[in-house]
Amino acid sequence: MLQGTLRNPLASPFTLGISGGAAFGAALAIILGAGFSGTGRYLVIMNAFTFALLAAALVYGLSAVRGITAEAMVLAGVAMNFLFMALTSLLQYFGGAEEVKAVVFWLMGSLHTASWGRLIPVAVVSFVSLPLLLRRAWDLNALATGDEAARSLGTAVERVRVECMLLAVLLTASVICFTGIIGFVSLLAPHIARLIVGPDHRFLLPASAITGALVLLGADSLARTVVAPIELPVGIVTSFLGIPLFVYLLLRSKQVYWRGG
Amino acid sequence: MTIEVREISFRYGERTTLRGVSLEVRQGEVMGLLGPNGAGKSTLLKCIAGLLRPAEGTVHIGGREVTRIRPLERARLIGYVPQGSPDGFPFTVFETVLLGRIPHMGFSPGEEDLKAAAEAISLLELQEFAARRITELSGGERQRVLLAQALARGPEVLLLDEPTANLDLRGQLESLALMSEVARERGIATVVVLHDVNLAARFSHRLAILDRGRIFAAGEPRTVLTPTTVREVYHVNAVAGEALGAHYLVPISPA
């Protein structure tokens, strides 16, 4: 979805600064002593969520200054991500050993704290946002032909872009505030899905969601078994698996399957 | 429907790009828009399309002010093809043309939408490419796909920004002949931005020459495309002539 709105094959929550914001939020809560136990855990979750939204708001604010073009949003997002990464490092530098360990663990991302209870808010957000996104499927298709052309097809380009970004932020934030940063799924899944169902967002959006879930499940199973009984953080596995697969997909497709953005 | 542009001015920040431009294009008429780079041709086209709001003056389409028409309805009335070719995800040719039906359809394209897309594709003789991805086509073929997309909307007004930019000699003639034929048959008021003055003279009923945001001259090709006008606007020496019933102009040297 983000790749569609921003017409950029590398767009993902990382490029929009959402992940960076969440990381900083979680780190802040942990370093300030919330820890992983008791009520503190919820503080970490809340803080990650809040800062993810804050990062997105900053990206939006920055890009709105010069009109909400795809390029402006990506650049602002990358800048925000670096800012929050630097802030997170700064926190770690000043934090105590135990806390830093907790932060690092969070940043690696893991499903081991997942439970049915925690799934409920994520599921609610997903079920609400998918129909809202699908409502915009044709607008996203129109955007593939360029902003001007989409506008002449009746798409309110800025509104669609903001709406989709809001939904993306909500979705991402609601997931990673529970799990920590799990990289590359969001980048990889849409590319796999696009190879299978093509670029029509009516099919691509649900297909990406399913692909993403499968990739994550696969990665998590691997993470739990590869060096059993030790359970690796799944974030490491997705990156290890994701990057070579991603490069392979790019090199394999002989057709020009992307033209500049 | 008639396009009526009344005294419009437009500014990009400090720079004024259009000053008091007026023109009228009747149903079924093709108006060729000429002028040197930066004269305001694309800006004028976007104002007519309702994508830019002029600082002063109004644009009426079929008697209604264009910026007051709701976007979806406007999209049904106006087929606008911007300059350049689309980037982004690789839709097939058929899908790209079908995108032109967005203003007509709900979540799924209906029988009528598929028919309109198929018709536009055969009109532009794109059948053999229909299942290919647009990223695999040449610039000229892609240009024809965009024209098909605009026609698939079933527009009353057609606005084309340099539709021949990437086409070879034959492609230019074919596309423009098709454009004027469709405009006449379906009664579409058409404005086309062109760089080639001879193509413009050949396929337009009337020409308008823009110079630094103003209409320098407008009217029938043979009255507009004179060596004097061309020297004033383009700073080029040229000779004009008549062959096979068509007015032509041969540029000789920079003036």
Q: What tens digit of pLDDT does each residue of B140-193 get?
A: 788 888 888 888 888 899 999 988 887 888 888 888 988 888 899 889 999 999
- The string of pLDDT tens digits covering residues A93-144 is 776 666 666 666 666 655 555 556 666 666 777 777 777 777 777 777 777 7
CB atoms within 10 A of CB A41: 16
pLDDT of residue A42: 65
Q: Quick check: A197 and A191 in contact, CB under 8 A?
A: no
pLDDT classification of B29: cutoffs 50, 70, 90: very high
SS3 content of chain B, % helix, strand, coil (to 5): 40, 30, 30
Judged against a pLDDT cut of 60, whether residue A212 lies above it is answered with: yes
Location of structure tokens 């990382």:
A14
pLDDT of residue B191: 94
Q: Is B7 left (phi over 0), alpha (psi -120 to 50) or beta?
A: left
Alpha carbon distance, N-terminus to C-terminus of chain B: 40
Q: For chain B, what is the radius of gyration of the CA atoms? A: 18
Look at A149 and B81 and tell me if their CB atoms are within 8 Å.
yes
Location of structure tokens 């259009």:
B18
Q: How far is B157 from chain A (nearest CA, A)?
A: 12
Judged against a pLDDT cut of 60, whether residue A11 lies above it is answered with: no
DSSP B171: H
**Position A258 in a domain:** no
Q: Quick check: B27 and B1 in contact, CB under 8 A?
A: yes
pLDDT of residue B216: 92
Q: How far is A111 from chain B (nearest CA, A)?
A: 32
- Judging contacts by C-beta atoms under 8 Å, the chain B residues touching residue A136 are none
Could you list the residue range(s) of the whole structural domain that residue A172 is in? 2-252
CA distance B192 to A215: 50
Q: Quick check: B230 and B255 in contact, CB under 8 A?
A: no
- The string of pLDDT tens digits covering residues A143-170 is 777 777 777 777 777 788 778 777 777 7
pLDDT classification of A45: cutoffs 50, 70, 90: confident
Location of structure tokens 């920040």:
B13
Q: How many domains does chain A have?
A: 1
In a mutagenesis test of the A interface, which of B47, B83, B89 is the best target, namely the one with the most A β-carbons within 10 Å? B89
- Judging contacts by C-beta atoms under 8 Å, the chain B residues touching residue A138 are 99, 102, 105, 107
**Position A168 in a domain:** yes
Residues 6+ apart with CB under 8 A from B57: B5, B6, B7, B8, B9, B20, B21, B22
Lowest average pLDDT, out of A173-177, A182-186, B115-119, goes to A182-186
Does the bond joining A229 to the residue before it have cis omega, within 30 degrees of 0?
Answer: yes
Q: How far is B239 from chain A (nearest CA, A)?
A: 38
Q: Quick check: A63 and A28 in contact, CB under 8 A?
A: no
Of these ranges, A148-157, A193-202, B19-28, the one predicted with the greatest mean pLDDT is B19-28
Name which residue leads in pLDDT, A34 or A160: A160
**Position A96 in a domain:** yes
CATH topology of domain B3-254: Rossmann fold (3.40.50)
Residues belonging to chain A with any Cβ–Cβ distance to chain B shorter than 8 Å: 3-4, 7, 134, 137-138, 141-146, 148-149, 151-156, 194, 198-200, 202, 255-261
Q: Please give the share of chain A, as a percent, with pLDDT higher than 90.
A: 0
Look at B87 and A260 and tell me if their CB atoms are within 8 Å.
yes
Mean pLDDT over all residues of chain B? Answer: 86
DSSP H/E element including B255: none
CATH number at residue A175: 1.10.3470.10
CA dihedral A150, A151, A153, A155 (to 10 degrees): 90
Mean pLDDT over all residues of chain A? Answer: 69
Nearest residue in B to A151, CA atom: B51
**Position A260 in a domain:** no
**Position A259 in a domain:** no
**Position A74 in a domain:** yes
- The string of pLDDT tens digits covering residues A218-234 is 777 777 777 767 667 77
- Judging contacts by C-beta atoms under 8 Å, the chain B residues touching residue A143 are 88
Q: Which two tokens stand for residue B234?
A: 């383009």
pLDDT of residue A160: 81
pLDDT classification of B237: cutoffs 50, 70, 90: very high
Q: Quick check: A217 and B112 in contact, CB under 8 A?
A: no
Q: Which of B88, B92, B103 sits opposite A261 (nearest CB)?
A: B88
- One-letter amino acid at A34 equals A
Q: How far is B232 from chain A (nearest CA, A)?
A: 32
Burial class (CB in 10 A: 0-12, 13-18, 19+), A103: buried
- Judging contacts by C-beta atoms under 8 Å, the chain A residues touching residue B108 are 202
Q: Which two tokens stand for residue B161?
A: 């920004």
Q: Which long-range contacts (CB under 8 A, 24 or more apart) does A84-90 make?
A: A84/A17, A84/A20, A84/A21, A84/A23, A84/A24, A84/A51, A84/A55, A85/A20, A85/A23, A85/A24, A87/A24, A88/A20, A88/A23, A88/A24, A88/A27
pLDDT of residue B190: 93
Judged against a pLDDT cut of 60, whether residue B138 lies above it is answered with: yes
Look at B89 and A261 and tell me if their CB atoms are within 8 Å.
no
Closest-CA residue to B43 (of B79, B74, B15, B68): B15
Look at A145 and B86 and tell me if their CB atoms are within 8 Å.
yes
Q: Quick check: A23 and A81 in contact, CB under 8 A?
A: no
pLDDT of residue A7: 47
Look at A144 and B91 and tell me if their CB atoms are within 8 Å.
yes
- Judging contacts by C-beta atoms under 8 Å, the chain B residues touching residue A199 are 89-91, 95
Of these ranges, A38-42, B10-14, B96-100, B235-239, the one predicted with the greatest mean pLDDT is B235-239
**Position A257 in a domain:** no
Q: How far is A105 from chain B (nearest CA, A)?
A: 37
SS3 content of chain A, % helix, strand, coil (to 5): 75, 0, 25
Q: Which of A146, A199, A255 sits opposite B91 (nearest CB)?
A: A199
In a mutagenesis test of the B interface, which of A66, A153, A160 is the best target, namely the one with the most B β-carbons within 10 Å? A153
Location of structure tokens 């198929």:
B118
**Number of A:B CB contacts under 8 A?**
99
Residues belonging to chain B with any Cβ–Cβ distance to chain A shorter than 8 Å: 46, 49, 51, 71-72, 74-76, 78-82, 84, 86-92, 95-96, 99-100, 102-103, 105, 107-108, 133, 135-136, 146, 149
As for the ipTM of the complex, it is 0.72
pLDDT of residue B207: 92
- One-letter amino acid at B63 equals G
Mean pLDDT of B121-141: 81
Alpha carbon distance, N-terminus to C-terminus of chain A: 15
Mean pLDDT of B97-126: 81
pLDDT of residue A256: 43
DSSP H/E element including A50: helix A38-65
CA distance A41 to A30: 9
Q: Are strands B78-81 and B64-65 parallel, antiparallel or unpaired?
A: unpaired
Mean pLDDT of B111-125: 83
**Position A184 in a domain:** yes
Mean pLDDT of B36-55: 89
pLDDT of residue B208: 93
Judged against a pLDDT cut of 70, whether residue B239 lies above it is answered with: yes
Q: How far is A4 from chain B (nearest CA, A)?
A: 8
